[in-house]
Amino acid sequence: MSTISKILDYNKDFVNQNQYEEFKTTKFPDKKLVILTCMDTRLLELLPKAMGLGNGDVKMIKNAGAVISHPFGSIMRSILVAIYELKAEEVCVIGHHGCGMVGLEASSILKKAKQNGIDEERIDILTNAGIDLSKWLTGFQCVEESVANSVRLIKSHPLFPKNITVHGMVIDPETGKLDLVIDGYKDIKSNSTNIPSL
């Protein structure tokens, strides 16, 4: 039986037995928090459990590496929607140790793409069209730096409101231990002290 068939079979029982009832909530995050984190399988249950989060508590955005690769891409749009439409008041970027994006090189992905039947010509067409594949497919060297970059990018976005705090954290995918890399409350404080009193 295929994975999807198994999932659909399981789902029938889940719904018929009203197992969804314990997950009932709304689209608005109870903790008024939006989290951007990595798609790593180890974090699927560990991250919410390690943070004491239940269904309905936060908006969770995931991608490879918790990276924002474009200021007008879907990740940044999701953060803005969470704030303006879904009442989130804080943002937390959470990278993790042992991330697959650390040291990832575009050449490795392109080589595997070719092995999977993508011909060189198609890659050339993309490159000639101005798509910088090597930049787009390259990971990062240091997770703390990458988290700090994402935090900076969010805070400096022209549509991002100044009163929203943005934190940066790194989680251990084995123990769930969180380290605060950037304390958004301190940033807000130091910003407000810079405002001259009238």
Which residues of the shown chain bind Zn ion in the complex (CB under 5 A)? 38, 40, 99
DSSP type of residue 22 = G
What count of other Cβ atoms lies within 10 Å of the Cβ of residue 108?
13
CB of 136 to Zn ion, least distance (A): 17
Question: By C-beta, is 40 or 90 nearer to Zn ion?
Answer: 40
CB of 99 to Zn ion, least distance (A): 3
CB of 118 to Zn ion, least distance (A): 24
Rounded CA gap, 97 and 147, in Å? 11
Rounded CA gap, 48 and 57, in Å? 10
Question: By C-beta, is 46 or 83 nearer to Zn ion?
Answer: 46
CB of 71 to Zn ion, least distance (A): 21
Beta bridge partners of 37: 62, 94
DSSP type of residue 197 = P
Identify whether the C-beta of residue 168 lies closer than 8 Å to the C-beta of residue 147: yes
Question: By C-beta, is 44 or 131 nearer to Zn ion?
Answer: 44
